[in-house]
Structure 1
Amino acid sequence: MQNKTNLTISILLSVMLFLQGNKLQAQSYFFERVYDETLAQASYVIGDLNTKEAIVIDPRRDIDVYLEIAQTNNLKITKVTETHIHADFLSGSRELTAVTNAELLLSGEGGADWQYQFPHTGLKDGSIIVVGQVELKVMHTPGHTPESITFLVRDMEASATPQRAITGDFIFVGDVGRPDLLEKTAGQIGSQEIGAKQLYASIHKFSKLPDDLEIWAGHGAGSFCGKSLSTIPHSTLKEEKQNSKALQFKNDEQGFVKYIMDGQLTPPKYFAMMKQLNKAERPLLIQVPIHPRLDQTVFQKAIDNNLLIIDTRSKDEVAKGHIQGSLHIENGKSLSTWVGSLLDYQQQIVLITNESHTEDLTRKLMRIGMDNIYGFVTGLDKMNVELEKSDLVSIGELKKHLDKKDMQIVDVRTESEYRNGHIKGVENMVLTSLENNIDKISKDKPVIIHCQSGVRAAMAYSILKRNGVENLKMYSGGINEWTEQKNELVK
């Protein structure tokens, strides 16, 4: 029995060593995906384990994560690059090159209007970047943007063909990049149809690559850069050809253009600012800043001087007591997007939060270039300031008013959410456009607002209060509670 046990252990150890050896052989170069859930954004560190050189692709602005990866793995970042001029986050490429003295390599494609306006080395279709034994070949893949490029990555000692593609916002898992952002955010009328046709041609060219090519994209589910992005981190070209609807329009350019233009969400307002800041010279932020905690006197002065107070606590905490005129944006995964959608970049802001959240909030906001933070208030309960409560209604109270004309009831979800199912008799005003539609809010009768879970309704409540709507109530349960209690939705 003992001999059999020893033999079994010996076999298991041999198998483990064999698998470990194969793993080391397969992973002959360093590869790590860095994922920011708050913006559903991916960046990549690729290095040679022998020469210790590394390149970073599409870094975010708080660059310490890449410096830590390099230090932990005994790598030196010698090159930094991007797949395109980003619209959804502020790139950290220049911060990273400033700290590491790495070479900055950026797309030189797209024409005169799409050139980066600061020192860098330009890349063209067919350009080769070498990092030790790793080769990154540039493929110009316009459509999402004119200058967009894809990096075809191969281990030169192991393969004659690329093994991975870093596709940026060109091809995602389950989707492709949207071509309408230039028109909708930068006002370039007519560019979305041109972009759609360029995207179709890029897909056709890319589809000729080996089927086993791994696709590593710049975004996952939750990004506004596409409409059907998957939560899966990577795929293969073969899988995308089989499963992505966007890749099913072979020899049907017109059908593809119609498909890709239909159903795209309204992009956040801050996208236009990101395009500008990522293209032109701007101040660099090498370290994550530490903002002051405001005491009673300084905080009161900020209120008196009409600084924008943003309350980032949970909707339940805010409902129990908040500062009159404050804007509520709950600190969650989507905070950056909401701040970028609702705020003016020129506004100086004070953030109400818990002490443990200050660094998290700073990072989220610096990733979209929202640096105008005056300070934090981390103990609102200890401040001698007057607070007001939110006026909440229950599901039962809401139902009492549905068939009557004595109340205006507003659903602040997106148009597509509303179309897919809403409470009968309720009108739709999208949260991000609410401030521009104050004239549509009744002045003669009470108003009830709701959303899916209560988070957006709480933001809408603060926006309307700031704009002088007094007779206001909030149904915090939203569609979630409505459907949980088996109530009907109409389409």
Structure 2
Amino acid sequence: MLIERIYDEDLAQASYFIGCQRQGEAVVVDPRRDIGVYQAMAAANGMRIVAVTETHIHADYLSGSRELAAATGAALYVSGEGGVDWQYGFTAERLYDGSTITIGNITVKALHTPGHTPEHLSFLITDGAFTDQPGYLLSGDFVFAGDLGRPDLLDEAAGGVDTRFAGAKHLFASLRDVFLSLPDHVQVHPGHGSGSACGKALGAVPSTTVGYERLYAWWGPYLAADDEQGFIDELLDGQPDAHAYFARMKKENREGPALLGSRAPLQELSAADVVRGLDANELTFVDTRPNTAVHEGTVAGALNIPAGKSTASFGSWAVDPARDLRPLVLLASDQEQAHDLWDHLVRVGIDRVAGYVTGLEGLPTSVPRTVAPEDLASLERALLLDVRAKGEHAAGHIPGSQQLSGGRVLWNLDQLPTEGTIVTYCQSGVRSSVAANALRHEGYDVVELEGSYAAWAAAN
């Protein structure tokens, strides 16, 4: 048996490729939308992808299950659990508690593990070539290394009202009745790692075991004492901010993400074509350089989505494709980098990219306004906006500032003044630049605090 973890550092998301070498067949669990990595893995191992499935209706990324099944002809499976309100809206075979997918000697058994979401499944894997006992659990957003999937996202991102309490109760029951009933040796492979907003204290290690979590996870003593209320109180306390784009992901993943099909390579655009598109308000320019370079000058009205490990995350802060239909023009070193940036963006449903340019020559540029920490007090402003997370703001902030995390700014414009200058800051300046340029793109007068909170704190 082959189990490969495909990890996206950008969204801290893990998908899994499970293959039977003897049969030459594989199943993929929780794939992302840029599916080339799975096709390449199948080719490298001489396998065919015959089944694709997912653990639940995801909120933090756009699922590639439909995309991969359409490209390979694989059977598509999704959860049929959760009741009428949590059924997928597209055609696929339904899995229920105890349902199985079989490839060669390998059995993938669905376990209904509600809590994070009502329809959530985990997958228990048995390698029949060696034993008739399960050895692996793909736990999705149920159990992480050292933590659990948060049950409050339906309230935070999907419009639910106090669903967190029922979700926490279900999670307690899933741990007691399902997870802790498994043998200690079972290896647990979760759907996320450190940095994901789907939990509050995810470990950085890629896997764990049932026995290790039973002994050392924070929730172990609550289960051992059958202290459901204590468990619920601890679980719900201090959960991180949920990004606003999660609501769009939930909706699209439930209805069925649009199929991308084969994507042609992005083409380099001329400066003249980009200028015409910008003047006609038909294009949006994306500066992918670090904020320090952007502060030296960028295209007027450009977004700042830095290239690197957080392109998808920051892209989801700066672009809402549900309301802005203008294609993006990416600043990239070459076609290869442009396509890599596009791969990251489609993971969060930002599909419309017109092409790329390799420099700013011939484009209208301006220098974003900034203010030094020592001049902040004398700057006339309508709002001082802290775009860090709630916990960071609570731990220390500039007096008089209002907190609104960067991933929620564009979706809460009603909390911002319609006139006057907004001064933004984060911890070091990266997140502030993403949020500030998104607001400038919307027509706001924005000044960024140089060096952000770290510089202000050092000066004060």
Give TM-score, length-normalised by structure 1: 0.85
What residue in structure 2 maps to residue 22 of structure 1?
none
1:462 to 437, 441, 445: 437
Q: SS state of the match for residue 80, structure 1? A: strand
Q: Does 1:350 align with 2:328?
A: yes
Q: Deviation above 6 Å: which 4+ runs of structure 1?
A: none
Q: SS state of the match for residue 274, structure 1? A: helix
1:109 to 55, 77, 81: 81
Contact 1:95 1:285 in 2 (8 A): yes
CA separation in 1, counterparts of 2:300 and 2:24?
56
1:476 to 429, 450, 454: 450
2:305 to 314, 324, 329: 329
CA separation in 2, counterparts of 1:217 and 1:228?
13
What residue in structure 2 maps to residue 312 of structure 1?
288
2:51 to 79, 86, 104: 79
Q: SS state of the match for residue 348, structure 2? A: coil
Residue 401 of structure 1 deviates from its aligned partner by: 4.5
Q: SS state of the match for residue 355, structure 1? A: coil
Q: Work out the percentage of aligned pairs sharing the same amino acid.
A: 39
Q: SS state of the match for residue 275, structure 2? A: helix
Contact 2:107 2:127 in 1 (8 A): yes
Residue 239 of structure 1 aligns with an amino acid whose one-letter code is: Y
What residue in structure 2 maps to residue 42 of structure 1?
14
Q: Does 1:124 align with 2:96?
A: yes
CA separation in 1, counterparts of 2:408 and 2:256?
31
Q: SS state of the match for residue 152, structure 1? A: strand
Contact 2:305 2:318 in 1 (8 A): no
Between 1:99-108 and 1:427-436, the stretch displaced more is 427-436
Contact 1:165 1:215 in 2 (8 A): yes
1:141 to 109, 113, 120: 113
Q: SS state of the match for residue 368, structure 1? A: coil
What residue in structure 2 maps to residue 376 of structure 1?
356
2:367 to 385, 389, 393: 389
CA separation in 2, counterparts of 1:360 and 1:271?
22
Contact 2:155 2:161 in 1 (8 A): yes
Contact 1:70 1:76 in 2 (8 A): yes
Q: SS state of the match for residue 391, structure 2? A: helix
**Larger gyration radius, structure 1 or structure 2:** 1
Between 1:283-292 and 1:49-58, the stretch displaced more is 283-292
What residue in structure 1 maps to residue 197 of structure 2?
224
What residue in structure 2 maps to residue 67 of structure 1?
39
CA separation in 2, counterparts of 1:325 and 1:85?
35
The change in CA–CA distance for 1:185 and 1:439 in structure 2 (over 3 A counts) is closer
The change in CA–CA distance for 1:92 and 1:289 in structure 2 (over 3 A counts) is farther
CA separation in 1, counterparts of 2:316 and 2:439?
18
Between 1:32-41 and 1:110-119, the stretch displaced more is 110-119
CA separation in 2, counterparts of 1:104 and 1:439?
42
Contact 1:185 1:272 in 2 (8 A): yes
Q: Does 1:258 align with 2:233?
A: yes
Residue 58 of structure 1 deviates from its aligned partner by: 0.9
1:234 to 197, 200, 207: 207
Contact 1:326 1:462 in 2 (8 A): yes
Contact 1:457 1:476 in 2 (8 A): no
CA separation in 1, counterparts of 2:27 and 2:124?
13
Contact 2:115 2:167 in 1 (8 A): yes
Q: SS state of the match for residue 41, structure 2? A: helix
1:191 to 163, 177, 190: 163
Residue 442 of structure 1 deviates from its aligned partner by: 9.6
Contact 2:384 2:422 in 1 (8 A): yes
Residue 34 of structure 1 deviates from its aligned partner by: 0.6
Contact 1:350 1:377 in 2 (8 A): no
**RMSD between superposed Cα atoms in Å:** 2.4
CA separation in 1, counterparts of 2:123 and 2:73?
22
The change in CA–CA distance for 1:100 and 1:428 in structure 2 (over 3 A counts) is closer
Give TM-score, length-normalised by structure 2: 0.90
Contact 2:63 2:257 in 1 (8 A): no
Residue 50 of structure 1 deviates from its aligned partner by: 1.4
The change in CA–CA distance for 1:144 and 1:350 in structure 2 (over 3 A counts) is same
Between 1:133-142 and 1:455-464, the stretch displaced more is 455-464
Residue 185 of structure 2 aligns with an amino acid whose one-letter code is: D
What residue in structure 2 maps to residue 58 of structure 1?
30
What residue in structure 2 maps to residue 341 of structure 1?
317
Q: Does 1:277 align with 2:257?
A: no
Residue 460 of structure 1 deviates from its aligned partner by: 3.2
What residue in structure 2 maps to residue 15 of structure 1?
none
Between 1:120-129 and 1:283-292, the stretch displaced more is 283-292
Contact 1:62 1:287 in 2 (8 A): no
Q: SS state of the match for residue 222, structure 2? A: coil
What residue in structure 2 maps to residue 286 of structure 1?
261
CA separation in 2, counterparts of 1:290 and 1:227?
38
CA separation in 2, counterparts of 1:146 and 1:439?
32
The change in CA–CA distance for 1:256 and 1:441 in structure 2 (over 3 A counts) is same
What residue in structure 2 maps to residue 363 of structure 1?
343
Residue 373 of structure 1 deviates from its aligned partner by: 1.9
Q: SS state of the match for residue 462, structure 1? A: helix
1:418 to 393, 405, 423: 393
The change in CA–CA distance for 1:308 and 1:252 in structure 2 (over 3 A counts) is same
Contact 2:244 2:408 in 1 (8 A): no
The change in CA–CA distance for 1:138 and 1:417 in structure 2 (over 3 A counts) is same
Q: SS state of the match for residue 310, structure 1? A: strand
> How many residues align structurally?
450
Unaligned runs of 5+ in 1: 1-28
The change in CA–CA distance for 1:193 and 1:459 in structure 2 (over 3 A counts) is same
CA separation in 2, counterparts of 1:102 and 1:439?
46
CA separation in 1, counterparts of 2:194 and 2:208?
14
The change in CA–CA distance for 1:443 and 1:189 in structure 2 (over 3 A counts) is closer
> Which protein has greater RCO, CA pairs closer than 8 Å, 6+ apart?
2
Contact 1:43 1:56 in 2 (8 A): yes
Residue 481 of structure 1 deviates from its aligned partner by: 4.5
CA separation in 2, counterparts of 1:183 and 1:121?
28
Residue 204 of structure 1 deviates from its aligned partner by: 0.8
The change in CA–CA distance for 1:84 and 1:482 in structure 2 (over 3 A counts) is same
Q: SS state of the match for residue 370, structure 2? A: coil
Residue 394 of structure 2 aligns with an amino acid whose one-letter code is: R
Residue 107 of structure 2 aligns with an amino acid whose one-letter code is: E
Task: For residues 137-186 of structure 1, give each alpha carbon's deviation from its aligned partner in whole angstroms, at most 9, with x where no partner exists.
Answer: 21110111111111111212323321110001111111111111122222
Residue 377 of structure 1 aligns with an amino acid whose one-letter code is: V
Q: Write the mapping of 1:156-235 to structure 2, written as runs, cut at 5 A.
A: 156-205=128-177, 206-235=179-208
